Structure 1
Amino acid sequence: MYNVLYIVLIAVIALLLAFFQYLYKNRKTTSNVFLFLLRFSTLFLVFLLLFNPSIKKQKIETIKPNLSISVDQSKSIKHLKQESNVRSFVELLKANKQLNEKFNVRYYSFGSNFKELDSLSFSENQTNLFKPINEFSKLYKKQNNPVLLITDGNQTIGNSIEFSNYKSPVYALVVGDTTKLQDIYIHQINANKQTYINNKVQVELFINYEGNKDVSKKLTISYKGKNIFSKTLHFSKENNVHIESLFVTASEKGNQYYNARIETLENEKNTSNNSKSFSINVIEEKMKILLLSSIVHPDLGMFKKSIESNKQREVVIKNIKEFKEDLSNYQLVILNQPTKEFETVFNSIKSKELNYFVITGLQTDWEFLNKIQSNFYKEAISKSELYKANFNKDYSSFLNTDIGFSKFSPIEDKFGKIIVNTKVNTIAFQKIGSFETKNPLLATIEGTRNRVGVLFGENSWRWRMQSFLENKSFQPFDDFMSSLILYMSSNKRNNRLQVNLSSIYYANEVLKISSIYLDENLNFDPRAKLWLQIDNKELKSSEKTPFSLQNNSFKAELENLKPGEYSYTVSVENQSIKKYGSFKVEPFEIEQQKENANDKALKYLAHNTKGSVFYNTQEQLVIDTLLKNEDFKSIQKSSIEKTPLINWKWLLVLIVLLLSVEWFARKYYGKI
């Protein structure tokens, strides 16, 4: 309506202007009328160009819900002989017109990686069920975006999918037989990855049994082909998980490989998971530890005796007033009840970024300690308090067990609230009388450049004595202290070349190695060129490959390595810096450890997201369920579009043409 009024108004104005120029008080000759019409047309088009009238058009867009179909591409699908079932179902989905009309269907594949589906190869060496769900959560922030997983449900890497918070329903077609087969297997092995020579290392094994009968099977641990541990374990339908804890002695330096094996069941179909390997890196160097104190206290003797129970460690006790050495000569500095006299030592620790362990007590100057470091703060008062130890079973920085902390005598410290200013990992919490607190009593802190430990209290010497009375041996306490000191003294800060890789890989697994090279100022140096060389003496093979720079690290990948033990060397071109080590490739593939499908985690996921789980022969039911679900509706989105009535380019050309004709006409009629 408004556009019509504008056009009429423009026409009237153009008419009046042209009339006053050529016809008002002039004779109405043919030439004047012709020039009047030309000027009217020109002015009308100029005004039309300036006002640029447009029309509004309502555009309605139909947005279909997304259906993300993610197909398991791992080798376990091929191992369970389900390739043809998966292929036929994918083709069925693609051919269904109703499904494609209702949904915006997109196909993806997952295994160890996640990507858009191009072809079905079933060649992935690992299965990460969490990967597609996590990626879809990032991609689709709102609801109305269902997911269909086509998988056998056997996950080998990644986080658990059971408690995913994906906002739309997740459906799963489980391929393969889900019937539970009789099986006994080693589920997990926990062991500290590093120790010193002649140390005893704690190992925890988790053995699972799936069956209805009562069985007794022998667990053995072997090292270099010889059995070093053997024990018969008893299982039943109810008692189907056994945790075995033992110690192995690290007698040789370097990566030492051990194999755990549980006897097979009668007629057990899957036997590849009855054995599992683990490794321990054994260090030969002797560790030197400095213990600084301004007072004489029984705790000093306890720490020295307990730490030096490991012959590879030496504890040097010094009075803070007399100490003038270089702290760099020590792998760990223990500071007993710091006061202002420790200021120079603290400043040196900061500048050299050394690991240190603080023991507090009644002689501690808390005003000084609160100012000199920023990891923790205590609002201490002059009154003292007795604190018992409450063991934290969730401590994760290194493997340890409760050595009877709850039975130990309380230790004494000044009373006050502890405020931790950084991420702390607590070994034992404070317990005052029968009141359990969340304040740390014994804790470690993992900094960016160093590690810090703290024991809030004195008289811990009683702990070692009580452990002896309880166990008739100092070994449990000393083993715990050994693990704590090993963790506290470990520091990669001084290593300009750092290499990160696993010590055990499975057959056909991609071997991934990452490395960091620092310049002399300990800054990452992206200009360096790193090389990886691996050798296998038994196979008489050698391979050398360059690292590639990715973000702030160097990475290398190797595939199709034959089973066996390999040594590796990482070197920096034109530098003498090198890193040596070893790893082992197991003779079996991890994707072949399951002989049936697993729907347990998928059921939890489907239930939590209001989806469903389907099985072989239910392919059409999957499609029908998706089509009949009224929650998945297309959304109509309307928008208003303004479309110009005229094309300004053609209008401009027409104006120029009219002006040109008018000029030539005026010239012809002698008006110029």
Structure 2
Amino acid sequence: MANSTIIYIILSGIIALLLALFQYVYQSKQTKTNIVLAGLRFVTIFSILLLLVNPKLESETFYNEKPNLVIAIDDSNSIQFLNQSENVQQIIQSLKTNTKLNEKFNIDFYKFSDALTRNDSLEFNTKQTNISKALKDLDAIYRTTVAPTVLITDGNQTFGNDYQYMAKRYKQPIYPIVLGDTTQHADLKIAQLNVNKYAFYKNKFPIEVILVYNGEEPIVSEFKISAGNATLYSEKITFSKTNNSKIIQTTLTANQIGVFTYQAAIQPIANEKNTANNKKNFAIEVIDEQTNIAIISNLLHPDLGALKKSIETNEQRTVSILKPNDFLSKADEFQLAILYQPNVQFKAVFDKLNTANLNRFVISGTQTNWQFLNSVSANYQHDKVFQTENYLPVLNTNYSEFIMPDVAFESYPPLKGSFGNINMKVPFQTLLYKQIGSIATNKPLLVSFESQTRREAILLGENIWKWRAQSYLNHSDFKNFDDFIGKIVQYLASKKRRERLSLSYESFNDGNTSVILQAQYFNKNYEFDNRETLTMTVVNEESKESKTIPLVLKNNNYEVDLSSLPASEYKFTVTANPSNISKSGTFTILDYNIEQQFTNADITKLQQVGNSTGGGVFFQDQLATLNQNLLTDNRYATIERSTKKTVSLIDWKYLLGLVILALSAEWFYRKYKGLI
């Protein structure tokens, strides 16, 4: 408490005492009675003055904080495949019922596969494992506390960063409990199969297969690629302890248009324990044309490379970066032109595009000549202001030209463009609005429109490469941004008539990936209608089993997750009720489970994780040793902590009650003595 506050309190006491004595003692002859009244009046005045001074009072409380014990359980399909499900349940039950552990630790149970969640129940049916992400999420949760981590897993990870390196940044000791057989069995497997997703009609498409043998004795096996009962390629292969891998490269011919499923298989060796990893299904979609896109620019800018890489993630698309003069002689080869920061040297390009009525995507920036661009465009005019501004993107959730991927635009850095507004002279839709600093506006940053059967889009800012980089920082890959650019390119490169019901889905899906179908429904005015009921009827082509599934409204589209369907070929129909508009299609789910490719636990990596973090590696029969280590380790002692709390006296309700009580007592006492 400050010295000045103490002085004010003393002065308040003196003032309250003087006023009480003056009123009831100095001016009165009833000394005994008035001393009581003076005392009550002193309490009242002093309490009120204390409220005016409002001193701050500090209180300190002490409490014991137990360390946390984190139990992270592998809930992926490999645990069940290695026959470890019951062992996991026994380990969990043993840890839950250990009285001494519960007395020393706050025990938290989590499960992980492709994501980390609180453990409510274990199913062991997830087809992907990302141990690195689980450790990263746990590190964020327990960064500021003491939380040794027990990792119950087989150590087999199917995607994500190497968890061995993530463990080095983990702030807590890790104690892996190893699940599965650690004995190395002889095994022959397809370690990797590389093939493009698309092929072009009457062209050859390459296939690369990496075969790996783990064993001591020399063997001979046969590798085949087949389609149905037909063998398309075969080769006898010899393996030994030293010559234990083989790369096979071949090509097949795409003779028909459509989706075709193949199987690569290596013949199992005698007494091989795991034969699930001896074969792998893959599919190719054969198409009869490719989308050619031209990026036309006079500048060297990182945006050009980012756009090219992003667009070409779809194998159906090729991108050429050209100068304006080079484009003129090749204009007929392209279905879409991306004009990057046009200037007067683009005059002949615009004339050619207008003559061919070719779709285009204009990207402006700090070096765009808006005076020229305004002169060649009849659809829009931009303010001619020679200043620049940074614009943050804000998604228009009501945009309905195509189904938008889930992009976190709120985390994206600003684009730099010319200051001012664009004035559209034709009907348009805004995909992204401008935000300047913290001020959101209704001014467009990215728009699309149709004019004279031609589709166009305009982006009013450069440095889109930073968006692609941010996508990687957000998700450790470029997929979200690439999907966003891909949707724009798909819309602009197409001349299809707009439909009231549009679908977005993959023709074939790997057995380990999510199978998602998205749909958009529009009313007669082609406005997105979220009141419609959409259902999907799916028919398994092999079993003829039919299933009807409702689509769920999500943002500006309808969506259904079909990941639970077994591997097969499917026909489907999406129907909008009650308008009775429908659309049909087919898709294939490949039979492949990467979780079943492992024959034993990765004991080496788990040992490295345990030793490098100051923990240790254990097996199920060593639970007693693990418990003893946790209980006796001095790093996990209970900590006494204190909290200080500062409270203003004005918040102390009892003082107000004291004032009311003193005034009431004074009134009743005066009444009793006949002074009122």
TM range (shorter): 0.5 to 0.7
Same amino acid, percent of matched pairs: 34
Q: Does the CA-based 8 Å contact 1:331-1:489 persist in structure 2?
A: no
Q: Does the CA-based 8 Å contact 1:163-1:604 persist in structure 2?
A: no
Q: How far off is 1:603 after superposition?
A: 3.6
Q: Does 1:352 align with 2:359?
A: yes
Match of 1:583 among 577, 582, 588: 588
For 1:334 and 1:20, locate their aligned partners in 2 and report how far apart those are by CA, in whole Å. 93
For 1:101 and 1:637, locate their aligned partners in 2 and report how far apart those are by CA, in whole Å. 18
Compare 151-160 and 213-222 and name the one that shifted more: 151-160
Equivalence for 2:253: 249
Q: Does the CA-based 8 Å contact 1:513-1:557 persist in structure 2?
A: yes
CA offsets, 1:445-485, max 9 Å, x none?
Answer: 96954699xxxxxxxxxxxxxxxxxxxxxxxxxxxxxxxxx
Compare 84-93 and 632-641 and name the one that shifted more: 632-641
For 2:164 and 2:638, locate their aligned partners in 1 and report how far apart those are by CA, in whole Å. 29
Give the letter for the 1:22 counterpart: Y
Compare 272-281 and 620-629 and name the one that shifted more: 620-629
Distance 1:137 1:585, change over 3 A: same
Equivalence for 2:89: 87
Distance 1:163 1:40, change over 3 A: closer
**What SS class does the counterpart of residue 101 from structure 2 fall into?**
helix
Equivalence for 1:379: none
Equivalence for 2:471: none
Q: How far off is 1:140 after superposition?
A: 3.1
5 Å-filtered alignment, 1:563-602, equals 563-570=567-574, 574=579, 578=583, 580-586=585-591, 590-602=594-606
Q: How far off is 1:649 after superposition?
A: 3.8
Equivalence for 1:60: 62
Q: Does 1:652 align with 2:650?
A: no
Match of 1:422 among 449, 465, 470: 465
Compare 92-101 and 169-178 and name the one that shifted more: 92-101
For 2:176 and 2:667, locate their aligned partners in 1 and report how far apart those are by CA, in whole Å. 78
CA offsets, 1:420-461, max 9 Å, x none?
Answer: 983899xxxxxxxxxxxxxxxxxxx96954699xxxxxxxxx
**What SS class does the counterpart of residue 185 from structure 2 fall into?**
coil
5 Å-filtered alignment, 1:56-135, equals 56-135=58-137
Equivalence for 1:191: 195
Q: Does the CA-based 8 Å contact 2:566-2:589 persist in structure 1?
A: no
Equivalence for 2:383: none
Match of 1:229 among 226, 233, 236: 233
Q: Does the CA-based 8 Å contact 2:335-2:359 persist in structure 1?
A: no
Distance 1:36 1:118, change over 3 A: same
Equivalence for 1:499: 504
For 2:564 and 2:583, locate their aligned partners in 1 and report how far apart those are by CA, in whole Å. 25
Q: Does the CA-based 8 Å contact 2:535-2:574 persist in structure 1?
A: yes
Distance 1:353 1:237, change over 3 A: farther
Distance 1:198 1:289, change over 3 A: farther
For 1:446 and 1:510, locate their aligned partners in 2 and report how far apart those are by CA, in whole Å. 18
**What SS class does the counterpart of residue 156 from structure 2 fall into?**
coil
Q: How far off is 1:60 after superposition?
A: 3.2
Q: Does the CA-based 8 Å contact 2:68-2:145 persist in structure 1?
A: no
Distance 1:554 1:625, change over 3 A: farther
Compare 226-235 and 128-137 and name the one that shifted more: 128-137
Distance 1:40 1:628, change over 3 A: closer
Equivalence for 1:220: 224
For 2:586 and 2:233, locate their aligned partners in 1 and report how far apart those are by CA, in whole Å. 27
Compare 84-93 and 48-57 and name the one that shifted more: 48-57
For 2:615 and 2:657, locate their aligned partners in 1 and report how far apart those are by CA, in whole Å. 63
Q: How far off is 1:160 after superposition?
A: 3.2
TM-score by length of 1: 0.66
Equivalence for 1:618: 622
Q: How far off is 1:86 after superposition?
A: 2.1
For 2:648 and 2:284, locate their aligned partners in 1 and report how far apart those are by CA, in whole Å. 76
5 Å-filtered alignment, 1:168-187, equals 168-187=172-191
For 2:251 and 2:527, locate their aligned partners in 1 and report how far apart those are by CA, in whole Å. 40
5 Å-filtered alignment, 1:345-494, equals 352-353=359-360, 422=465, 449=485
For 1:136 and 1:97, locate their aligned partners in 2 and report how far apart those are by CA, in whole Å. 24
Provide the aligned C-alpha RMSD in A: 4.9
CA offsets, 1:375-401, max 9 Å, x none?
Answer: xxxxxxxxxxxxxxxxxxxxxxxxxxx
Distance 1:564 1:174, change over 3 A: same
Distance 1:330 1:29, change over 3 A: closer
Q: How far off is 1:180 after superposition?
A: 0.9
For 1:199 and 1:241, locate their aligned partners in 2 and report how far apart those are by CA, in whole Å. 29
**What SS class does the counterpart of residue 515 from structure 2 fall into?**
strand
Equivalence for 2:404: none
Give the unaligned 5+ runs of structure 1: 293-312, 314-318, 357-365, 373-418, 426-444, 453-486
Equivalence for 1:275: 279
Distance 1:169 1:8, change over 3 A: same
For 2:123 and 2:290, locate their aligned partners in 1 and report how far apart those are by CA, in whole Å. 52
Equivalence for 1:343: 349
For 1:347 and 1:635, locate their aligned partners in 2 and report how far apart those are by CA, in whole Å. 73
Q: Does 1:141 align with 2:143?
A: yes
For 2:31 and 2:61, locate their aligned partners in 1 and report how far apart those are by CA, in whole Å. 52
Q: Does the CA-based 8 Å contact 2:607-2:617 persist in structure 1?
A: yes
Q: How far off is 1:197 after superposition?
A: 1.8
For 2:492 and 2:203, locate their aligned partners in 1 and report how far apart those are by CA, in whole Å. 16
Give the letter for the 1:182 counterpart: A
**What SS class does the counterpart of residue 221 from structure 2 fall into?**
strand
Q: Does the CA-based 8 Å contact 1:130-1:159 persist in structure 2?
A: yes
Q: Does the CA-based 8 Å contact 1:603-1:613 persist in structure 2?
A: yes
Give the letter for the 2:20 counterpart: A
Q: How far off is 1:633 after superposition?
A: 4.5
For 2:202 and 2:257, locate their aligned partners in 1 and report how far apart those are by CA, in whole Å. 9
Q: How far off is 1:330 after superposition?
A: 4.9
For 2:514 and 2:246, locate their aligned partners in 1 and report how far apart those are by CA, in whole Å. 32
In our comparison, the structure showing a higher alpha carbon Rg is 1
Give aligned pairs, total. Answer: 532
CA offsets, 1:20-74, max 9 Å, x none?
Answer: 1122153235554454344334334434554566754333344343321111223
For 1:578 and 1:20, locate their aligned partners in 2 and report how far apart those are by CA, in whole Å. 96
For 1:523 and 1:160, locate their aligned partners in 2 and report how far apart those are by CA, in whole Å. 47
For 2:250 and 2:517, locate their aligned partners in 1 and report how far apart those are by CA, in whole Å. 32
Give the letter for the 1:278 counterpart: F
TM-score by length of 2: 0.65
Q: Does the CA-based 8 Å contact 1:180-1:596 persist in structure 2?
A: yes
Distance 1:523 1:488, change over 3 A: closer
Q: How far off is 1:331 after superposition?
A: 2.9
Q: How far off is 1:91 after superposition?
A: 2.5
Q: Does 1:637 align with 2:644?
A: no
CA offsets, 1:265-311, max 9 Å, x none?
Answer: 1211211211110000112458799999xxxxxxxxxxxxxxxxxxx
For 1:227 and 1:532, locate their aligned partners in 2 and report how far apart those are by CA, in whole Å. 36
5 Å-filtered alignment, 1:520-559, equals 530-551=534-555, 554-558=558-562
For 1:669 and 1:424, locate their aligned partners in 2 and report how far apart those are by CA, in whole Å. 85
Q: Does the CA-based 8 Å contact 2:178-2:619 persist in structure 1?
A: yes
Distance 1:281 1:522, change over 3 A: farther
Give the letter for the 2:140 counterpart: K
Q: Does the CA-based 8 Å contact 2:360-2:492 persist in structure 1?
A: no
**What SS class does the counterpart of residue 629 from structure 2 fall into?**
helix
Compare 249-258 and 56-65 and name the one that shifted more: 56-65
**What SS class does the counterpart of residue 138 from structure 1 fall into?**
helix
